[in-house]
Amino acid sequence: MTAPDLSIVTPAFNEEANLPFLYQELRTVLDGLGLAWEWIVVDDHSRDGTFGVASGLAAADPRVRCLRLSRNSGAHVALTCGLHAAGGACAVVMAADLQDPPDVIGELLARWRAGAKIVWAARAIREGETASTLRFSRLYWRLVRKLIPETTIPDTGADFFLVDRQALDAYGRFDERNISAFMLINWMGFRQDVVTYTKRARLHGQSGWTLSKKVELVVDSLISFSHLPIRMMSVIGFLVALAGLAYAGWVALNALTGTPIQGWSSLMIVVLALGGAQMAMLGLLGEYMWRSYENGRRRPLYMIEAATPSQGSDRSGGSSAHGR
C-alpha cells in the first residue's frame, strides 16, 4: 500500500457527535488539496459510541482508521499512539471537537513545503472559551516560557500542529511517561514555524480537559523539561539556613543584653515554617522520583483494545500494546 502524503491524527474522548462533521470538513478540504491522505482517530476509551461512529466512517472510506485504547490514558498518550501509527510524509494533529478549522491545514502544508519540520498553529482568538480557561492558558504558557527558555511554542499556546516525517521518526524513539507531548516535540528542535488562526467554539459536548488534568500537565511540563524546581529547593534550603543563623544570632544578642525572648510563639513559627518548607521539598523530590520509577517499570505506554479492519498492526507496535 502506497504511503499517504498526509496523516491527520485526532485523539477523541466522547466525541461521537463531532466526528461525522469533522470528517465531512476534512474530506472537503483535503480532497480539494489533491493529496493522498489518511485520518487516524484514537479513541481514548470513550464512554459513548465514539469508536462505533469512527468504525462506520472507516467502513465507508478506507482512508479512515480508528484505534481504541484499552483504558483512558489521557490526550497526550492518545496523541502519541496516533503519531506512532501515522504513515504519511507528514502528520497534522488536531482535536475532534471542530475547534481547529481544517482550512488551516493548507497553511501548515505551505510552511512545511517551505522547509519547516514542525509547524505550530497559534491561537490568535479563542471563541466560546470562559474567562477562567483563558487566564489559566495564559498563565501556563507564560510560566513555561519563563522557566523553560528554549520553548518556541507561541505564548498563546498551540495544540494544532504539523510534524514532518523526520520529526515523527525521531519522536517514535522516545519512551517517556508523564510528559507533555507538545513540549517534547518542541524540545526535539528541528526547524519550526508558526501560523495563526481563530480557534472556533466547540460544536457538541463538553471538554474533558478538567482542572486536575490541567494541573497535572503543568507539573509534567515543568518537571520533565526543567531542572529549575529542584534547583530552587537548594536555594530555599540555603536561604532558610541563613535565616536560622541570623535568628540564632539575634537570640544570642538579646540574651547577652539581658532581654531574652520570652515564650514559645517565635519558636513555633520557626518550626512550622521550616517543617512546611521541608515537606514541600520532599513532595517535589517525590514527583521526580515517581517519574523515574514510572520510566523504570517499562510498562507499555498504551494498549490497543480494538482497531478498524483496515488499520492492521504493523505501525502501532502490535495490535494490543506499545512500549519500547
Domains of the chain from N-terminus onward:
6-225+299-307 (3.90.550.10)
Which pLDDT belongs to residue 103?
Answer: 87
What residues contact 95, with CB distance under 8 A and at least 6 apart?
Answer: 10, 11, 159, 160
- Show the cell assigned to 112: 512545511
Contact (CB, 8 A) for 105 and 92:
yes
Which pLDDT belongs to residue 315?
Answer: 40
What residues contact 219, with CB distance under 8 A and at least 6 apart?
Answer: 287
Which pLDDT belongs to residue 316?
Answer: 39
Which pLDDT belongs to residue 250?
Answer: 72
Rounded distance between C-alpha atoms, residue 261 and residue 24, angstroms: 77
Rounded distance between C-alpha atoms, residue 291 and residue 220, angstroms: 9
Which pLDDT belongs to residue 40?
Answer: 92
What's the length of the chain?
Answer: 324
- Helix 228-256 and helix 211-225: axis angle, to 10°? 90
C-alpha angle 202-205-210 in degrees, rounded to nearest 5: 85
Which pLDDT belongs to residue 39?
Answer: 93
Report strand pairing: 64-69 vs 304-307: antiparallel
At residue 57, the 3 state secondary structure works out as: helix
Alpha helices in 172-227 (DSSP H): 181-187, 211-225
Which pLDDT belongs to residue 266?
Answer: 63
Which residue ranges in the chain fall short of pLDDT 50? 311-320, 324
Contact (CB, 8 A) for 58 and 23:
no
> 214-273: per-residue pLDDT in tens?
566 666 666 666 666 666 766 776 677 667 667 767 767 776 776 666 655 566 666 766
At residue 96, the 3 state secondary structure works out as: coil
Q: What are the CA-CA distances from residue 230 to residues 18, 146, 191, 272, 274 (Å)? A: 42, 16, 30, 22, 17
Which pLDDT belongs to residue 219?
Answer: 64
> 71-99: per-residue pLDDT in tens?
887 888 888 888 998 888 899 998 888 88
Query: 0.75 exceeded by the pTM?
Result: no
Instruction: For residue 292, count other CB atoms closer than 10 A to its CB.
Output: 9
Q: Could you give the percent of the chain with pLDDT greater than 90? A: 8
- Show the cell assigned to 26: 476534512
Which pLDDT belongs to residue 182?
Answer: 78
Contact (CB, 8 A) for 145 and 169:
no
